[in-house]
Chain A
Amino acid sequence: MGSLAGIGMGLAVIGAGIGIGNIGAKAMEAIARQPEAVGDIRANMILTAALVEGAALIAIVMAFLVG
Chain B
Amino acid sequence: MKFSKILFALIFGLILSFSNAAQAGGGGGKFDAKATAFHHIADANVYSIGPWSFPLPCILYNKDTGKWSVFSSGKFNLVGHHGDGADIVDGYVLNGGTVNRITNPTPEMLEGHMHISDHSHDAKDHNHDHHLFGHETKMVDGKEKEVSYFTKGGKKFYLEDKTAWDFGVFGGDFTSFYDFSITKNVVSMILVCLFMMFTFFRVAKLYKTNDGKAPTGIQGFFEPMVVFIQDEVAKPFLGNKWKQFLPFLLTIFFFILGLNLFGQVPFLGGSNVSGSLSVTLVLAIASFLVVNLSGNAHYWEHVVWMPGVPAWLKIVILTPVEILGVFIKPVTLMLRLFANITAGHMVMVIFVSLIFIAKEGAGEGIAWLTSAGSVLLTMFMMAIELLVAFIQAFVFTILTAAYLNASTEEAHDHDHGDSHEHAAAH
User: In the docked arrangement, what's the CA distance between A58 and B399, Å?
Assistant: 17
Q: Is the CB of B339 within 8 A of A60?
A: yes
Say how far A36's CB is from chain B's closest CB, in angstroms. 15
Give the complex CA separation of A60 and B165 in angstroms: 13
On whether the beta carbons of B339 and A43 are closer than 8 Å, the reply is no
- With A39-B232, A40-B421 already in contact, the answer to whether A54 and B332 are too (CB < 8 A) is yes
Q: Mark B224-256, 1 if CB is under 8 A from A, else 0.
A: 000000001100100000000000000000000
Chain B residue nearest to A61 (CB atoms) is: B335
- Rounded to whole angstroms, the CA-CA distance of A43 and B402 in the bound complex is 12
Which segment, of B259-267, B378-386, B390-398, B409-417, faces chain A?
Answer: B390-398
The answer on a CB contact under 8 Å between A46 and B398 is yes
The reply to whether B398 and A43 form a contact with Cβ atoms under 8 Å apart is yes
C-alpha gap A60/B332 in the complex (Å): 12
Please measure, in the bound complex, the distance between the C-alpha atom of A54 and the C-alpha atom of B328, giving whole angstroms: 10
Query: Does B422 sit within 8 A of A, measured CB to CB?
Result: yes
Contacts of A50 in B (CB 8 A): 336, 395, 398-399
User: Is A27 part of the binding interface, using a Cβ–Cβ cutoff of 8 Å?
Assistant: no
B398 and A57 form a contact (CB under 8 A): no
Q: Interface size (A, Cβ < 8 Å)?
A: 15
B425/A47 in contact, CB under 8 A: yes
Residues in chain B near residue A43, CB distance under 8 A: 232-233, 236, 398
Task: Say whether chain A's binding surface is mostly helix, strand, loop, or mixed.
Answer: helix
Task: Give residues 82-140 of B contacting A (CB, 8 Å).
Answer: none
Known: A57-B332, A61-B335. A47 touches B170 (CB 8 A): no
Across the two chains, which residue of chain A brings its CB closest to B334?
A57
- B424 at interface (Cβ–Cβ under 8 A)? yes
Contact A47 B339 (CB under 8 A): no
Q: Which residues of A contact B398 (CB under 8 A)?
A: 43, 46-47, 50
Q: Please, how many angstroms separate the alpha-carbon atoms of A44 and B421 in the complex?
A: 10
Closest B residue to A53 by beta carbon equals B336
- Considering only residues 13-51 of chain A, those with a C-beta below 8 Å from chain B are 39-40, 43-44, 46-48, 50
> Quick one: given A57-B339, A60-B339, are A47 and B395 in contact (CB under 8 Å)?
yes
By a CB distance below 8 angstroms, the chain B residues around A53 are: 336
CB distance from A18 to the nearest CB of B (A): 19
Distance of A66 from chain B, by nearest CB (Å): 10
5 closest A-B pairs by CB:
A54-B332, A50-B395, A57-B335, A43-B232, A65-B170
Could you list 18 A-B pairs, sorted by A, with CB under 8 Å?
Answer: A44-B422, A44-B424, A46-B391, A46-B394, A46-B395, A47-B398, A47-B422, A48-B424, A50-B336, A50-B395, A50-B398, A54-B335, A57-B335, A57-B339, A58-B328, A58-B335, A60-B339, A65-B170
Interface residues in chain A, defined as those with a beta carbon under 8 Å from any beta carbon in chain B: 39-40, 43-44, 46-48, 50, 53-54, 57-58, 60-61, 65
Known pairs A47-B424, A50-B398. 17 more at Cβ < 8 A?
A39-B232, A44-B422, A46-B394, A46-B395, A47-B395, A47-B398, A47-B425, A50-B336, A50-B399, A53-B336, A54-B332, A57-B335, A57-B336, A58-B328, A58-B335, A60-B339, A65-B170
